[in-house]
Amino acid sequence: MGNTELPSHAERMTRTGTETAFEVFAMAKEIEKTGVKVNHFEMGEPDFDTPENIKDAARKALASGFTHYTAAPGILELRQAIAENISNDFDVDIDPEKEVVVMPGAKPGIFMSILATVDPGDEVIMPNPSFPIYESVVNLVKAKPVPIPLKEENDFRLNPEDVRNKITDKTKMLILNSPHNPCGSSLLKNEVEELAELAKENNIWVMSDEIYSKIIYEGKHYSMLSVPGMKERTILVHGFSKTYAMTGWRLGYSVGNPKVIAHMAKLQVNISSCAAAFSQMAGIEALTGPQDTVTNMVMEYEKRRNAIVEALNSIKGISCKKPSGAFYAFPNVTKTGMKSKELMMHLLNKAHVAALHGTAFGEYGEGYMRFSYATSLENIKEGMEKIKVAVEKL
Ligand SMILES: Cc1ncc(COP(=O)(O)O)c(C=O)c1O
């Protein structure tokens, strides 16, 4: 008989986090197995199907042999389409050969940009609450996450003054996310400019996650790349998942400093070689084909935003500001008298409504819940009615 003892796991796994959305989704699925209907608001995923023209492009790509490896940074035609799209939207010149890397999703852009620029002991400033993968990856590389609380009284926008106060000689990177998950807030032009100035003055990289840049209802999105001179120190994280309802295609990209982009392409050779060839061909169609499907989806999200915010505000103990972008409502639930996680479990088990506690996005999310409204008006109506009963009975 051999030795039954197993070797230890890598120490870094103790420092790696995850996304609670998948855990709550799994709990909801367990409840559904007992025959009970659950209303879902936990996943940050468009409920729309990928537009037909994009699916057609993938079918055509498969039929014509796009079933092999591609260049590690991505098919040049796609990089050209991305460069053109970013140039038009953000008013900045992009070199498709040196300043763009295509990856299987936007998440690898977060992972690889941190791996490429941040060393153990470095400090990385980030909003809190925020997408949990930022903190997870910063911890993974043994750097220190430095949280900046997002405050409701500031409409959950990152305050540049708060950032300034946290900069030390160890600060290596500032992470931004606008429009924001989970708060639905969007940075104003002058705030982006002030943050850019801070990054320049203190020689800091900026990772700017703008994956929701086309899902915006108030004002106009202003990119960090649009600030003159910022392309050199910015790594833009973007992709197709949200704008084109393509979460399962695994397609995203980063744009920015050519040296960092080259390092990211090298990391990609080590991790995945490239994004799937036929997904990349579909990406070309997404960017260069008709955009009316995007406009229609955003119009529909706006109707849902209005409906969910109104419904949440009608529940005693809950108040919700109107988010300006992305597809998340982030209501204040302190007056229910329950902690966020406790309320999340209460809603799941008693109302059969799945949503996320604010602390799934960091400690400063306490007192809030996140509802994804990338779901039908019918689901919103039914779910909110169930919550009203479960909360007002508390
Ligand atoms: C802010 C933010 N960045 C990145 C991602 C990841 O996107 P992808 O599915 O393209 O990897 C998400 C997905 O929820 C997100 O909300």
CATH number for the domain spanning 371: value is 3.90.1150.10
Q: Is 105's C-beta closer than 6 angstroms to any atom of ligand 1?
A: yes
- Residue whose CB lies within 8 A of the most ligand 1 atoms, among 19, 103, 107, for a mutation test: 107
- Residue whose CB lies within 8 A of the most ligand 1 atoms, among 19, 114, 131, for a mutation test: 131
192, 59: one domain: yes
pLDDT average, residue stretch 325-349? 97
Q: Does residue 7 carry a pLDDT above 70?
A: yes
Q: Is 184's C-beta closer than 6 angstroms to any atom of ligand 1?
A: no
Maximal C-alpha separation, the chain: 69
In a domain, 39, yes or no: yes
- 149: confidence class by pLDDT, cuts 50, 70, 90: very high
**Residues found in the chain:** 394
368 CA to centre of ligand 1 in angstroms? 20
212 CA to centre of ligand 1 in angstroms? 9
Q: What is the pLDDT of residue 112?
A: 98
Q: Does residue 2 carry a pLDDT above 80?
A: no
Q: Does residue 218 carry a pLDDT above 90?
A: no
299, 279: one domain: no
In a domain, 48, yes or no: no
Q: Is 278's C-beta closer than 6 angstroms to any atom of ligand 1?
A: no
In a domain, 7, yes or no: no
In a domain, 265, yes or no: yes
Q: Is 251's C-beta closer than 6 angstroms to any atom of ligand 1?
A: no
In a domain, 5, yes or no: no
pLDDT average, residue stretch 171-177? 98
188, 232: one domain: yes
Q: Does residue 245 carry a pLDDT above 70?
A: yes
Q: Is 243's C-beta closer than 6 angstroms to any atom of ligand 1?
A: no
- Residue whose CB lies within 8 A of the most ligand 1 atoms, among 41, 235, 242, for a mutation test: 242
When comparing pLDDT for 63 and 392, which is higher? Answer: 63
Range of the domain at 317: 13-43+293-392
- 3: confidence class by pLDDT, cuts 50, 70, 90: confident
Percentage, residues of the chain above pLDDT 70: 99
Ligand 1: nearest atom to the Cα of 21: 14
144, 266: one domain: yes
252, 278: one domain: yes
- Rounded Cα distance between 212 and 236, Å, is 12
Angle 324-326-331 from CA coordinates, rounded to 5°: 65
- 103-128: pLDDT as tens digits: 999 999 999 999 999 999 999 999 99
Q: Does residue 153 carry a pLDDT above 80?
A: yes
Ligand 1: nearest atom to the Cα of 250: 10
CATH (domain of 174): 3.40.640.10
In a domain, 334, yes or no: yes
106 CA to centre of ligand 1 in angstroms? 6
pLDDT average, residue stretch 85-99? 97
CA atoms within 13 A on the CB side of 5: 3
Q: What is the pLDDT of residue 99?
A: 98
State how many domains the chain has: 2
Q: Hey, what long-range contacts does 25-33 have (CB within 8 A, 24 or more apart)?
A: 25/354, 27/348, 27/354, 28/348, 28/354, 31/348, 31/349, 31/352
Judged by phi (left if over 0) then psi (alpha if -120 to 50, else beta), residue 155 lies in: left
Q: Is 177's C-beta closer than 6 angstroms to any atom of ligand 1?
A: yes
213 CA to centre of ligand 1 in angstroms? 12
Select from 288, 321, 351 the last residue of a domain.
Answer: 288
Mean pLDDT computed over every residue of the chain: 97
Q: What is the pLDDT of residue 1?
A: 60
Q: What is the pLDDT of residue 292?
A: 97
282, 250: one domain: yes
pLDDT average, residue stretch 42-49? 94
Tell me which residue has its CA closest to atom 13 in ligand 1: 44
Tell me which residue has its CA closest to atom 16 in ligand 1: 181
- Residue whose CB lies within 8 A of the most ligand 1 atoms, among 185, 208, 211, 235, for a mutation test: 211
Q: What is the pLDDT of residue 65?
A: 98
297, 384: one domain: yes
Q: Does residue 4 carry a pLDDT above 90?
A: no
259, 308: one domain: no
In a domain, 297, yes or no: yes
203, 234: one domain: yes
- pTM higher than 0.85 for the full model? yes
248, 362: one domain: no
359, 309: one domain: yes
Q: What is the pLDDT of residue 255?
A: 98
Select from 288, 323, 342 the last residue of a domain.
Answer: 288
Do residues 308 and 318 lie in contact, with contact meaning Cβ atoms separated by under 8 Å?
no
178, 300: one domain: no
Select from 234, 260, 288 the last residue of a domain.
Answer: 288
Do β-strands 328-329 and 205-209 pair in parallel, antiparallel, or remain unpaired? unpaired
- 51: confidence class by pLDDT, cuts 50, 70, 90: very high
Q: Is 211's C-beta closer than 6 angstroms to any atom of ligand 1?
A: yes
In a domain, 87, yes or no: yes
374 CA to centre of ligand 1 in angstroms? 14
Listed residue (357, 368, 377) closest to 21, CA to CA: 357
